């Protein structure tokens, strides 16, 4: 249920789609905001929520945080179904 | 492969043309002039004709004047016109047996026919000028679609490369942000696993004899237990990669040497998440990552060596001071430990904790200028003697000034005799004007002075000393620092360390 909730927000959905299509990507909030063409502040907030939901993994350092896609096959498979459904 | 891509491109182009709203609008305009003609838009084929007899029959049946007798004549006219258009690559006008007009236009770019746009069953003759305008319109539309496809192709080529570049840049920032080797190596391993989508990563660094690779970190995201194994140079994938100074790729492993001026180690990845073998792309990205990793590792190693040198210098200095005045100038290890734990409670940064550590060892270094008779005098000091002792913080700072690595320790050494209420020395700083490190040092130094053996007073027990500190909270000492101090000295390991060093007995 929690996973579906992430799809109700356009920014969340776009971020999830970006990582689902580019699973090897590790990028900063600014980079991701560029790829999905959304406001940086909103993207930052969305990234934190998606990390808490277990969809993304945060790699923190002193200067920045990089985000990468989950490796949980169950979550990835659910996301794949949800993305195809929405399309 | 090339031919397939070309066919896909041609099909895509013609499909876009066929579905184009602009073309439909243009057809609509012409239809209104020629009173509901039949339109055909069909892709080109090398050998077959673009439309089938079945299609012709189906469409013609819909016409009011359709008869079976006119059917074969109609079909013959249409198919002939298509053949002519295909051969000539030019527009072909025709008139069918029912006296209705039409044209077939092959959509040509260079020598290639993408498809055909045809119109039949027009009640009037179609003027050449109208045909010319229609052809011009279609050609312009085709050129526009070609540009769109080129841009789309460029986007599809550039975007993944740009995303990969951004990943490389982000990884670089993440691994360059730490100089702590124990933190750095697992971070490199985890990031490598994410970038290449593998399950396990091992980093081995070569030992000095250069005959064996020592495992420094192994990360397995499947949470499998891993044994850290040494690998001889030349043996197994990591050993071979090290020996040959080049990457070794197998079905389920990829070993990449870490090369500085020399090979310093190997990073090896195992088992891709999707079960596929490691490919050329994985190799390329790991090559870039390995180049970044080796710089970060070398920096961390150099930093560690520099730290060792600094600590070594401090310990040498501390040894000299200890020889000068045993048990008075240099504190024992337990106090360094107390200071560091208090620093962590205050969430001091790594470099601040380092400075605090150095300052603890040398905070009374300035007392070296004070004659030993004064330092060990059992009775009260005279005014002149006390003034000399009060100079020691400033003297201490001057002693350590040449050692640039100890710059952060200077404020702690200088202000550790300041008092929270502003009545201390050398500058009479008050409250938060006193750096936090100095406020911590003030408490711990006082504690140490009370429980250590001194010639001028009996040593106190740990509890009595703690009570004394508490009594002076808010006046001599910062209340927040006192609270943290009281919390830290209650810890079991601190108490055992103090006991081990002979305190509190």
DSSP codes joined into one string, B258-281 = EESSSEEEEEEEEEETTSPPP-HH
Suggest the residue from A20, A23, A24 to mutate for an interface test with chain B (most B CBs closer than 10 A): A24
Q: Given CB atoms, is A37 within the 8 Å cutoff of chain B?
A: no
Q: Given CB atoms, is A9 within the 8 Å cutoff of chain B?
A: no
Are B160 and A22 in contact (CB < 8 Å)? yes
Q: What is the pTM of this model?
A: 0.66
pLDDT, tens digit, 9 for 90 and up, residues B269-300: 999 988 899 999 899 999 999 999 999 999 99
CA distance B487 to B494: 11
Q: Which residue of A has its CA nearest to B199?
A: A71
Structural tokens at position A80 = 């794949």
ipTM of the complex model:
0.92
Low-confidence winner among A13-22, A59-68, B72-81, B188-197 (lowest mean pLDDT): B72-81
Structural tokens at position B137 = 């319109």
Phi, psi (deg, nearest 5) at residue B37: -75, 175
Are A61 and B177 in contact (CB < 8 Å)? yes
Q: Which residues, other chains included, contact B339 with Cβ-Cβ below 8 Å and sequence gap of 6+?
A: B356, B357, B360, B440, B441, B444
CA distance A40 to A14: 13
Question: Which residues from chain B sit within 8 angstroms of residue A71, using beta carbons?
Answer: 194, 197, 221, 273
Suggest the residue from B155, B161, B194 to mutate for an interface test with chain A (most A CBs closer than 10 A): B194
CA distance B390 to chain A (A): 40
Based on the number of CB atoms within 10 Å of its own CB, is B25 exposed (0-12), middle (13-18) or buried (19 or more)? exposed
Q: Which residue of B has its CA nearest to A24?
A: B195
Contact between residue B366 and residue B329 where contact means Cβ atoms under 8 Å apart: no
pLDDT, tens digit, 9 for 90 and up, residues B203-260: 999 986 768 999 999 999 887 777 778 888 888 999 999 999 999 999 899 999 999 8
Distances (CA, A) of B141 to B22, B25, B46, B329, B394: 8, 12, 23, 90, 84
Q: Can you give the length of chain A in residues?
A: 87
pLDDT, tens digit, 9 for 90 and up, residues B68-93: 666 777 778 888 888 888 889 999 99
Contact between residue B445 and residue B458 where contact means Cβ atoms under 8 Å apart: no
CA distance A57 to chain B (A): 10
Q: How many CA atoms lie within 13 A of B415 on its CB side?
A: 24
Q: Given CB atoms, is A86 within the 8 Å cutoff of chain B?
A: no
Q: Given CB atoms, is A57 within the 8 Å cutoff of chain B?
A: yes
Q: Which residue of B has its CA nearest to A25?
A: B167
Which sign does the torsion angle of CA B41, B46, B51, B54 carry?
negative
Closest to B105 (Cα-Cα) out of B121, B129, B81: B81
């Amino acid at each position: 249920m929690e996973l579906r909730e992430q799809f109700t927000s356009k920014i969340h959905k776009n971020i999830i789609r970006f990582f689902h299509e580019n699973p090897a990507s590790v990028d900063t909030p600014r980079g991701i905001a560029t790829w999905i063409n959304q406001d940086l502040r909103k993207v930052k907030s969305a990234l934190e929520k998606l990390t808490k939901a277990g969809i993304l993994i945060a790699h923190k350092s002193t200067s920045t945080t990089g985000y990468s896609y989950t490796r949980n096959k169950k979550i990835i498979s659910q996301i794949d179904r949800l993305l195809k459904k929405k399309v | 492969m090339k031919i397939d891509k070309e066919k896909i491109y041609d099909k895509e182009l013609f499909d876009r043309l066929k579905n184009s709203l602009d073309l439909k609008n243009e057809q609509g305009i012409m239809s209104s002039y020629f009173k509901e003609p039949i339109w055909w838009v069909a892709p080109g084929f090398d050998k077959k004709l673009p439309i089938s007899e079945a299609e012709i029959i189906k469409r013609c049946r819909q016409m009011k004047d359709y008869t079976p007798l006119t059917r074969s004549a109609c079909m013959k006219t249409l198919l002939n016109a298509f053949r002519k258009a295909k051969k000539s690559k030019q527009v072909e006008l025709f008139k069918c047996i029912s006296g209705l007009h039409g044209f077939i236009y092959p959509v040509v770019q260079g020598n290639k026919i993408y498809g055909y746009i045809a119109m039949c069953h027009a009640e009037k003759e179609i003027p050449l000028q109208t045909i010319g305008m229609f052809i011009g319109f279609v050609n312009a539309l085709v050129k526009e679609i070609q540009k769109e496809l080129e841009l789309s192709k460029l986007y599809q080529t550039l975007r993944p490369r740009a995303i990969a570049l951004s990943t490389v840049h982000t990884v670089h920032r993440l691994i360059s942000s730490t100089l702590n080797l124990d933190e750095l190596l697992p971070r490199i391993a985890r990031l490598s696993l994410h970038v290449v989508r593998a399950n396990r990563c091992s980093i081995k660094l070569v030992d000095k004899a250069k005959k064996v690779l020592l495992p420094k970190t192994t990360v397995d995201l499947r949470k499998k237990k891993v044994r850290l194994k040494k690998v001889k140079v030349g043996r197994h994938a990591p050993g071979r990669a090290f020996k040959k100074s080049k990457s070794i790729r197998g079905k389920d492993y990829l070993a990449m040497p870490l090369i500085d001026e020399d090979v310093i180690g190997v990073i090896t990845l195992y088992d891709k998440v999707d079960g596929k073998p490691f490919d050329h792309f994985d190799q390329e990205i790991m090559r870039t990552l390995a180049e970044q990793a080796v710089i970060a590792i070398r920096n961390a190693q150099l930093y560690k060596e520099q730290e060792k040198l600094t600590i070594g210098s401090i310990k040498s200095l501390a040894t000299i001071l200890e020889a000068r005045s045993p048990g008075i100038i240099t504190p024992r290890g337990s106090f360094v430990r107390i200071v560091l734990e208090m620093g962590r409670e205050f969430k001091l940064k790594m470099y601040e904790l380092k400075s605090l550590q150095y300052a603890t060892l040398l905070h009374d270094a300035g007392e070296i200028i004070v004659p030993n008779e004064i330092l060990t005098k059992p009775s009260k000091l005279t005014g002149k003697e006390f003034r000399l002792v009060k100079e020691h913080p400033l003297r201490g700072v001057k002693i350590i000034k040449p050692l640039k690595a100890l710059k952060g320790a200077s404020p702690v050494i200088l202000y550790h005799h300041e008092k929270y209420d502003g009545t201390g020395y050398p500058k009479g700083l008050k409250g938060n004007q006193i750096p936090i490190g100095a406020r911590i040092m003030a408490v711990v130094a006082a504690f140490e002075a009370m429980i250590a053996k001194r010639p001028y007073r009996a040593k106190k027990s740990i509890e009595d000393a703690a009570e004394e500190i508490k009594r002076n909270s808010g006046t001599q000492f910062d209340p927040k620092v006192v609270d943290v101090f009281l919390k830290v000295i209650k810890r079991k390991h601190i108490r055992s360390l103090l006991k081990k060093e002979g305190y509190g007995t």
